[in-house]
Structure 1
Amino acid sequence: MLKHSAQYKYTGLALFVSLLLVIELAWLHVLQPMENRVADAMLARHALKSAPDKDIIIVDIDERSLDLMADSVGRWPWPRSLHAELVEGIEKQHPKAIVFDVLFSDPDLTRPSDDAYFAETVQAQSNLYFPMLLLNPTANGIPLAQYAEALGITKTAVAEPQASVSMVLPLPAMIKSTSLGTHNVLADRDGVVRSYLVYSDVAGWHIPSLPAKVATGLGYGLPNTNNIVLNWHGRALSYQRVSYADIYNDLQRKTPQRASDEFKDKIVIVGATATGLHDVRATPVDGFYTGVEILATAIDNLKNADALRPVCKWLIAVLGVLLIGLLGWAFTRACKLLIIGVALAGVTIALIFAAYSALNWLWLFTILTPLLFAWVYYLIAALMEYLKERKTRELAIATFSRFLDPRVVQALVSRGETMESMSGKSSEITVLFSDIRGFTTLSENSTPEQVVELLNAYFSQQSAAVFAHEGTLDKYIGDAIMAFWGAPTSQPDHALKAVAGALAMSEQLEVFRQQYGALAKDIEIGIGVHSGQAVVGFIGSENRQDYTAIGDTVNLSSRIEGLTKGIARVLVSQETRDLCIKQSGDAACPFAFIDCGSHAVKGRAQPVQLYEPIKKS
């Protein structure tokens, strides 16, 4: 019944923790920040082994470019004629695409000719891509139905005709190119950029991102999702970069010094890494990752179809429930706590390694949440197991203390013995029965209070003698005492200890008589001792059980006690005598045995040879 009760508790706990796991994965997401941190650590390590696409080159508006060009063209923003000259120079090398990470949203009122020059250059090329900035849906924004075609926006079956959106658009010449896409770098709640939108869905209208526009323009396929988890390639500033100033100054030379095919068949991204332009974000691989490199990473992922694919949360939930279920099964099978803990630690390490290895196959396996819930189950179940063991220990101490010396009790409990483990064992033991003579006369001549006080004192002294010789006090039967040696702890010299205990009880009687004088002068005792096989354990009903011994050995010991009257205060059987000699050696035996003859015993066909033990002087 106790076993089934424990099974129900562990099974119920498994169901409860599994339910909490599903709720966390589906709705709460309380552990998501921790999950992100673990995934970030894996991604950062994995990124070190992954090289950026060599066909993507960044023309870098870096600190050096800002310094070198400050004297000749002024401070940033530069005249747009510079960008026009840069485009014309790079186009001579036939790149696949030139992508600007610069938002040309306002006309240069002080240099309109520069804007016109740039517009002519843009219209003359077909592989230029420009960003636009998506703000938010609004009633006062751009009507999507009217400008969708011009902006490359796709209408879906559920598109709302009256939908509008607020956007920051580039100059008209760039809008006419239709090579536009949004470049909105969106961070998670903790401020870290982990993903990139392929397109933005606004009331059923799909607004393409700049990386998606580049990918489709170059003939690369797009994933069937509006969002990709970025697969990072190296830490910040890992993509091949060429200083804007170096390229521009080289184009001004009559005889260029740079390679004439430097940008041939490359995807060229023009953007800034200069810290003064404040275009940096936090990412899993670096706390200061420039926006242009995030753009490069997104284009890289779409070009090579190597964006990460998050494992379905329901599969993670199934894994967590399975893991919790296995733990519940282990606990209901009464497996050792340490073994379960070591096994769970091994599974934890294996799953973390598997999650890290899964990145090689582009799977993002968020494993922390199911593992944490598995450990929560283990810790709660371990606490339950500890409390159960503590309760069992306290019950064992309380139970054993009724019939064993406290030192023996501690030894048994430290060995992990329980009522179940000490039941139904056949052992060779030595049994002692002791009974009071003259108790009836004492009862007639004393008040009930005196009788109870006297018996309590008597039993206390006699049980102390039993415990002093490491005996097990079985029970009090009226004014009789039953004790045995050889169980529950193994005692190779149980016969010697039993006889020593019997003689100590006899000596204790004399002390008792002296203490209580006339009131105890008529008290006499008889002690019978016999050795043999007996069944020892907890015996009784479900509601009450006692640790006792049963069998012929017990019966004969009681019969011998009944024969002591008129013969000797202490009598032992020949089996006990022979065991004493065997257990100590004839010369070393501390007792001498006086032959008291053979005596008929009720229930036995053969007479029993009895001896009176005395201590050797």
Structure 2
Amino acid sequence: MSSPVPLSSRPRKILGRLSDFLAKKWKNGFYLYLAGIFTALIVFDAFFLHFAAEMKQTAFDMMVRYRVVVPTPDKDIVIVDINEASLAAMSKEYGRWPWPRQVLGEFVEQIEKQRPQAVVFDILFSDPDVYNPDSDAYFDAAIAATGNTFFPMLRLDPADDALSQIKPAMIPGVVARDNEAQRDATLAMVLPHFKAALEGSRLGLHNITPDADGIVRQYPVYRDDYGWKIPSLPLRIAQQLKFPQPEAQRVLLNWRGRPFTYRSVSFSDVFVDLTSKNKQRPPDEFTGKIVIIGSTAPSLFDVKPTPLSRMHPGVEILATAIDNFKHDDYLRFPDARIAYLLLTLAIVWATAWGFYRNIGQDKFDRLFGASQFILLTISYASINFTTTYINLTGPVTLGLAYFTLARLYAFATGKALETSSVRTSQEHGGELHGVLMLIRLGGQAGVLSEGAREKIRRRLEKTGSATKSVEILTGRQKGIWDLFEDTLAISWLRPADDEDSRLRIVRDISEVARAIRPLLRKHAATADNDVNWFVHEGLIIGGEEARNSWRALFAETLLRWKETKKGKS
């Protein structure tokens, strides 16, 4: 009665049978079939799924977060921060936020004396203060006396456009893009309540639209609604101050760093100093500056997730956009969908061809790894040293996915795909003829490195025209087998009565004998190695007895070789 098969060996046997099945069914053609499947998925993704685009966003976030060369924030952009400290300090006299507009009016009057380049409100003045109409009037008069104050407006859901009575032509700064602009269209908008802000026409959208994953990476330059161009607040500032104006509708922000990178001063500190008789702050603190009045206070909820922080203050995002427009250094990201598609397919098919042609594993892995590293380096360098972001992470990731699956298949079926005379003889019944060539490298044991052994083995496999099995005994075994270190065993198998096969094997033996010494010299073995070989042939019984037949042939070859040496001596 046979003993039961241990449970631990069953998975190995199942995997072994599966590997043999896959190897017999697909052989090396699997790599081409897999490349065909990847091609279909890549093309479908490029035009419909956009999974690779999402990978690019994740890679962009990481590269921005850990880049080496970070642009310096413009020193002439200053944030007057209505922070938690300001809210607490001002509440004693003016109550909770929002404060009476007269406070902001007095701030504008005083700061204008220092001649700032621009005063930008990141505060939406959408409604009148019904309890302080005189305060509103004071603020309106203060901004009417300026020519450099800018105010935001808010675009509401376009689904509500039909409910609005505001036509695009009624909004200062909005222009028709072409003759096809719809004149009777209405826009759901929240405009500043103050007449002076509207008449000054220094208005712009401060809507920030995150990407599909909720992360803010881009800033809108303008909106195109019904053929009308509605500028963003940074664009309106760029137009007024003669900064470069992006042609794209959205730009990828070139971040200056994590939150609180820009120079920031507390609103309460500045306001108290500006309105006091004994001023302590420099009288030219804001001269020539772009002053942005906004809030970083978490209690006012103006925070958004960005690649650099999950809670990035909106006023800092606005400052970044203005900075980008001023220096014309926002990140360009060419819409090279077809180029990325072709590059991805080239990586996949080049990798598939390498596996299909059975290029040496060590060499091929190094080449593939180097190519992917170079592509990632190009992406990382572009975001550090240029304003054109070349995002190659999609092609790299998909290429790596293909390589991983192909390498797993190669690992699982490697033994089954190798040419093996023993395996071939097991698959055929009857009497066969086996030829065994043993090549012994003399001199110091272990003269060949692992990589050199594999290169020699693969080269000898390709020498000649007959199918052969090439193996190198490394001497890793203990005891007597250690004596066979650096011995090459080359075997051929042919039908017993096939004369053509016999002649091909004879020619193969001659070619192998001529090739072995140059190979040893090429792969760092000493040129004067004493290389000996011996060839013996014998009967192989196919089927279940094949292994025993080959063992007997191996032993007989060693004995005959030894006898031959004695005869010569």
Displacement, 1:13? 4.1
Q: Which residue of 2 is the match for residue 560 of structure 1?
A: none
Displacement, 1:53? 0.7
Displacement, 1:387? 5.6
Q: Work out whether residues 173 and 203 of structure 2, in 8 Å CA contact, stay in contact via their aligned partners in 1.
A: yes
Displacement, 1:225? 0.8
**Residue correspondence of structure 1 range 459-608 to structure 2 within 5 A:** 470-471=552-553, 485-486=556-557, 491=558, 493-494=559-560, 579=564, 581-582=566-567
Q: Which residue of 2 is the match for residue 375 of structure 1?
A: 400
Which sections of structure 1, spanning at least 5 residues, go unmatched?
434-454, 473-483, 498-578, 586-617
Partners of 2:182 and 2:142 lie apart in 1 by 37
Q: Work out whether residues 94 and 265 of structure 1, in 8 Å CA contact, stay in contact via their aligned partners in 2.
A: yes
Say whether residues 1:352 and 2:379 are aligned partners. no
Displacement, 1:120? 0.6
Say whether residues 1:54 and 2:97 are aligned partners. no
Say whether residues 1:322 and 2:346 are aligned partners. yes
Partner of 1:130, secondary structure, is strand
Q: Deviations over 1:199-243 (max 9, x none)?
A: 011121111111110111101121111101111001101100111
Aligned length: 454
Partners of 1:35 and 1:418 lie apart in 2 by 51
**Residue correspondence of structure 1 range 175-194 to structure 2 within 5 A:** 175-194=198-217
Partners of 1:220 and 1:193 lie apart in 2 by 23
Q: Which residue of 1 is the match for residue 112 of structure 2?
A: 91
Moved more, 202-211 or 365-374: 365-374
Q: Work out whether residues 114 and 285 of structure 2, in 8 Å CA contact, stay in contact via their aligned partners in 1.
A: yes
Q: Which residue of 2 is the match for residue 18 of structure 1?
A: 39
State the superposition RMSD in angstroms. 3.4
The AA in structure 1 aligned to 2:108 is V
Partner of 2:75, secondary structure, is coil
Q: Which residue of 2 is the match for residue 215 of structure 1?
A: 238
Partners of 1:115 and 1:45 lie apart in 2 by 46
Q: Which residue of 1 is the match for residue 90 of structure 2?
A: 69
Q: 2:308 is matched with which residue: 274, 279, 285?
A: 285
Residues 258/403 of structure 1: CA separation in 2 closer, same or farther (3 Å cut)? same
Q: 2:317 is matched with which residue: 294, 319, 323?
A: 294
Residues 124/342 of structure 1: CA separation in 2 closer, same or farther (3 Å cut)? same
Q: 1:162 is matched with which residue: 184, 193, 204?
A: 184
Q: Work out whether residues 273 and 292 of structure 1, in 8 Å CA contact, stay in contact via their aligned partners in 2.
A: yes
User: Which structure: greater strand fraction?
Assistant: 1
Q: Work out whether residues 198 and 212 of structure 1, in 8 Å CA contact, stay in contact via their aligned partners in 2.
A: yes
The AA in structure 2 aligned to 1:276 is S
Partners of 1:354 and 1:72 lie apart in 2 by 57
Partner of 1:84, secondary structure, is helix
Q: Which residue of 2 is the match for residue 107 of structure 1?
A: 128
Partners of 1:431 and 1:156 lie apart in 2 by 89
Residues 274/387 of structure 1: CA separation in 2 closer, same or farther (3 Å cut)? closer
Residues 390/417 of structure 1: CA separation in 2 closer, same or farther (3 Å cut)? farther
Partners of 1:219 and 1:328 lie apart in 2 by 54
Q: Work out whether residues 123 and 151 of structure 2, in 8 Å CA contact, stay in contact via their aligned partners in 1.
A: yes
Partner of 2:35, secondary structure, is helix
Partner of 1:309, secondary structure, is coil
Residues 338/411 of structure 1: CA separation in 2 closer, same or farther (3 Å cut)? closer
Residues 291/428 of structure 1: CA separation in 2 closer, same or farther (3 Å cut)? closer
Displacement, 1:382? 2.9
Q: Which residue of 2 is the match for residue 174 of structure 1?
A: 197
Partners of 2:371 and 2:120 lie apart in 1 by 47
Q: Which residue of 2 is the match for residue 362 of structure 1?
A: 387
Say whether residues 1:304 and 2:289 are aligned partners. no
Displacement, 1:292? 0.4
Q: Deviations over 1:494-547 (max 9, x none)?
A: 2557xxxxxxxxxxxxxxxxxxxxxxxxxxxxxxxxxxxxxxxxxxxxxxxxxx
Q: Which residue of 1 is the match for residue 229 of structure 2?
A: 206
Displacement, 1:290? 0.2
Sequence identity (%): 33
Q: Which residue of 2 is the match for residue 425 of structure 1?
A: 509
Say whether residues 1:152 and 2:236 are aligned partners. no
Q: Deviations over 1:74-124 (max 9, x none)?
A: 111011111111111111111111000001110001110010011011111
Residues 145/290 of structure 1: CA separation in 2 closer, same or farther (3 Å cut)? closer
Partner of 1:57, secondary structure, is strand
Q: 1:331 is matched with which residue: 347, 355, 363?
A: 355
Q: Work out whether residues 151 and 175 of structure 1, in 8 Å CA contact, stay in contact via their aligned partners in 2.
A: no
Partners of 1:210 and 1:288 lie apart in 2 by 22
Q: Which residue of 2 is the match for residue 42 of structure 1?
A: 63
The AA in structure 1 aligned to 2:325 is L
Q: Work out whether residues 108 and 115 of structure 1, in 8 Å CA contact, stay in contact via their aligned partners in 2.
A: yes
Partners of 1:92 and 1:75 lie apart in 2 by 28
Q: 1:122 is matched with which residue: 129, 143, 157?
A: 143
Partners of 1:495 and 1:126 lie apart in 2 by 104
Q: Deviations over 1:175-214 (max 9, x none)?
A: 1111111100111122110001000111211111111101
Moved more, 246-255 or 394-403: 394-403
Displacement, 1:349? 1.9
Displacement, 1:428? 4.9
Q: Which residue of 1 is the match for residue 520 of structure 2?
A: none
The AA in structure 1 aligned to 2:229 is H
Q: Work out whether residues 433 and 538 of structure 2, in 8 Å CA contact, stay in contact via their aligned partners in 1.
A: no
Residues 580/369 of structure 1: CA separation in 2 closer, same or farther (3 Å cut)? closer
Displacement, 1:34? 3.2
The AA in structure 1 aligned to 2:553 is G
Q: Deviations over 1:343-402 (max 9, x none)?
A: 222222222221111012112222221112212222333345446533334864332457
Q: 1:267 is matched with which residue: 253, 275, 290?
A: 290
- Larger RCO (CA under 8 A, 6+ residues apart): 2
Displacement, 1:72? 1.1
Partner of 2:188, secondary structure, is strand
Partner of 2:372, secondary structure, is helix
Residues 9/429 of structure 1: CA separation in 2 closer, same or farther (3 Å cut)? closer
Displacement, 1:283? 0.4
Partner of 1:241, secondary structure, is strand
Partners of 1:410 and 1:420 lie apart in 2 by 9
Q: Which residue of 1 is the match for residue 443 of structure 2?
A: none
Q: Work out whether residues 152 and 179 of structure 1, in 8 Å CA contact, stay in contact via their aligned partners in 2.
A: no
Partners of 1:324 and 1:188 lie apart in 2 by 29
Q: Radius of gyration: which is bigger?
A: 1
